[in-house]
Structure 1
Amino acid sequence: ETTVNLLGNGIRMLLDTPEHLQTLAARPELWPNAVEEILRLDSPVQLSARVAANDVEVAGTAIRRGEFVVIYLAGANRDPKVFADPHRFDIERANAGKHLSFSSGRHFCLGAALARAEGEVGLRTFFQRYPDARLAGAGSRRDTRVLRGWSTLPITLGRARAALGS
């Protein structure tokens, strides 16, 4: 479900910003960074939960050993101390990969490399195959406390280009 959400979120964000699609067509080496920026700005996973192993204080708040802690990854991904103009979608953002969409440390997602590859190949292939794709309606979000994505995303594909290698 997270990969489906990454692809849907990315398709929607890129269809909403045709100038980014033009840039990616001219500079395909930016695709990996574009995927990082999609993950940062509209991450399929919004939060992570942990149980405190020790008593600790974070930003003046005491957390006791055994307490349930929820980390809102999506909020961290828009931290203005880390990301300049954090609500802007910028496929050339130098530090786009500094997001926490895959968590961090020993809880870092083991599938992160695969998810990034699927996102890049899936989005690049979609837009190469359907360069005239356009939104065909508003669509509807399927957002939960943990996951964020689309339940419907109507798109007019337009004429398909020949598949690569055919």
Structure 2
Amino acid sequence: MYPHNTHSHALLNAHSHALFNAHSHALLNAHSHAHLNALLNAHSHALFNAHSHALLNAHSHAHLNALLNAHSHALFNAHSHALLNAHSHAHFNALLNAHSHALFNAHSHALLNAHSHALLNAHSDALFNAHSHALLSAHSHALFNAHSHALLSAHLTDLSRLTTSDSFLCDQ
């Protein structure tokens, strides 16, 4: 082997590694952000959907219980006065005795038993505070409207039956 060839191979080895290192880092710096952005665009919606449903399942019942505790007295007072003005005290008391305890027990125990205290302890107050306002504003009105209309229509139907049966007896 000629000395010239040995020297040229050594120069090629020395320069090729230096060039490779210089260009590979430049290419990595130039393309890594593009790849990261592409990955984020491809996966962020899937990740968001996966985590948001998990967070909703973990926190929604806690939010519902907080809403019930915060609003139940105000809602009860607002609706009870309207019902008392529309119907007699006897009918209202009969409906309350027949239905309120059963409905409250059925829903509250089901909600409490469905999600354990371990879920509440597993997620920190920081997560709760970050998501609670958004979740409350998004879900509370829809949930309240769905349940309140159903409950009012059920109670008003019972009241109508009681009123009709009383007037029938009075006519006799």
Normalised by the length of structure 1, the TM-score is 0.23
Q: Considering fraction of residues, name the structure with more strand.
A: 1
Q: Which one scores higher on RCO, CA 8 angstroms, separation ≥ 6?
A: 2
Q: Considering fraction of residues, name the structure with more helix.
A: 2
